């Protein structure tokens, strides 16, 4: 397959490029060329996505079987790229988010849950859900049934730059008693970035279109599964000390917010980790074991070091600082 990845240097985009090369696809990437050097055997097209003329020049007269786009800011940028590619690509896979659904998410929601209002021509990318929904509408405008909208849930695995598992692995590495956000039996739903990448590519092969909630099985693991498995694969001598949710709220801590255990106002959300994913599994999604996800994430961190934080990700310093952690541990 001739594949064009818009982005391709971070997180999902990087995973897509690596999976495509492993399959033997002919891969082009389009980005500014300043974050990471292109992978070997990739044709690197250099352009600023916000500059439509620059993108048009970089694309030249190229044609591709499929496009994968991971853009997260102003929808207008997606609209302009999709228009340029409408007659030169057979398939457009857009990495979206469950955040396009209107709050509150109903329990066991599927792809038919209500969506936020959005404008595909908007220059505003400050509202993540609205920006992604605008991107969806922009892709649909040019590609229609040839568009695949992958509404991802919590994405884990190597290359993560949003402060979830890398933060936890570094904290566990320090050893000692570690404050863990209770309850330990809280259920989580997630997807490994490489499983998402593989599914996007297989879907492009088939020309699959439509919207899919692209995450793993509902309530697949517990918070305790996540953290104890992290300890097992790393071998750290660390003791997890589980803090009741009401204590965390009284102390004003945000630890646990990164895993979607509660919302910024302290309420426990419905529908966060129990999305109905029947459609995406019927469409061929496969999921690797949690142990593999965590072990490979740790191996990546050891090899490459901590990633530069995503510009839109919250500061990981907000989860908890050492002094606050020790104060709360003393109460337990």
* 123 and 93 inside one domain: yes
Write the CA distances from 321 to 112, 264, 306, 316, integer angstroms: 40, 18, 18, 9
* 20 and 68 inside one domain: yes
Domain limits for position 228: 160-188+220-272+290-331
* 197 and 267 inside one domain: no
Q: Report the distance separating Cα 301 and Cα 13, nearest Å.
A: 18
Write down the pLDDT at residue 252: 85
Q: Report the distance separating Cα 287 and Cα 271, nearest Å.
A: 20
* 119 and 136 inside one domain: yes
Residue found under tokens 């899919």 = 212
Sheet with 147-152, side-by-side order of all strands: 43-46, 26-31, 2-6, 66-69, 92-97, 147-152, 210-214
Token digits of residue 28 = 């082009």
Residue whose C-alpha is closest to residue 48's, from 22, 74, 25:
74
* 111 and 170 inside one domain: no
Residue 311 lies in a domain: yes
pLDDT per position as a tens digit, 190-241? 999 999 999 999 999 999 999 999 999 999 999 999 999 999 999 998 999 9
Residue 245 lies in a domain: yes
* 103 and 147 inside one domain: yes
* 63 and 115 inside one domain: yes
* 136 and 170 inside one domain: no
pLDDT per position as a tens digit, 94-144? 999 999 999 999 999 999 999 999 999 999 999 999 999 999 999 999 999
* 175 and 321 inside one domain: yes
Q: Which pairs count as long-range contacts for 38-42, CB under 8 Å and 24+ apart, including other chains?
A: 38/8, 38/9, 42/8, 42/17
Task: Report pTM.
Answer: 0.97
Fill in the DSSP letter of residue 89: B
pLDDT-above-90 percentage for the chain: 86
Query: How many folded domains does the chain comprise?
Result: 2
Write down the pLDDT at residue 251: 87
Q: Which residues pair with 33 in a beta bridge?
A: none
Residue 89 lies in a domain: yes
* 148 and 235 inside one domain: no
């Amino acid at each position: 397959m001739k594949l064009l990845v818009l982005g391709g240097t971070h997180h999902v985009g990087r995973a897509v490029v690596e999976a495509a090369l492993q399959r033997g696809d002919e891969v082009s990437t389009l980005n500014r060329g300043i974050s990471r050097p292109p992978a070997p055997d990739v044709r690197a097209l250099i352009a600023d996505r916000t500059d439509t003329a620059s993108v048009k020049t970089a694309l030249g007269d190229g044609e591709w079987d499929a496009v994968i786009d991971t853009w997260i800011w102003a929808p207008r940028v997606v609209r302009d790229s999709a228009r340029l590619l409408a007659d030169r690509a057979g398939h457009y896979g857009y990495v979206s988010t469950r955040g396009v659904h209107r709050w509150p998410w109903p329990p066991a929601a599927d792809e038919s849950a209500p969506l936020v209002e959005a404008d595909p021509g908007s220059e505003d990318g400050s509202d993540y859900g609205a920006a992604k929904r605008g991107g969806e509408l922009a892709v649909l405008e040019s590609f229609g049934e040839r568009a695949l909208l992958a509404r991802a849930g919590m994405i884990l695995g190597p290359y993560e730059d949003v402060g979830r598992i890398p933060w936890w692995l570094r904290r566990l590495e320090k050893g000692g008693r570690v404050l863990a956000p209770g309850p330990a039996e809280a259920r989580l739903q997630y997807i490994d970035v490489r499983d998402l990448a593989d599914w996007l590519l297989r879907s492009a092969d088939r020309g699959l279109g439509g919207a899919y909630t692209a995450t793993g099985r509902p309530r697949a693991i517990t918070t305790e599964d996540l953290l104890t498995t992290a300890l097992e694969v790393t071998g750290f001598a660390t003791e997890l000390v589980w803090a009741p949710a009401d204590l965390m709220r009284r102390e004003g801590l945000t630890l646990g917010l990164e895993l979607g255990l509660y919302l910024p106002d302290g309420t426990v959300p419905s529908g966060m980790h129990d999305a109905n994913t029947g459609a995406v599994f019927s469409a061929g999604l496969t999921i690797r074991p949690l142990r593999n996800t965590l072990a490979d994430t740790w191996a990546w961190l050891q090899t490459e070091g901590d990633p530069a934080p995503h510009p839109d990700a919250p500061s990981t310093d907000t989860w908890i600082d050492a002094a606050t952690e020790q104060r709360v541990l003393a109460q337990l």
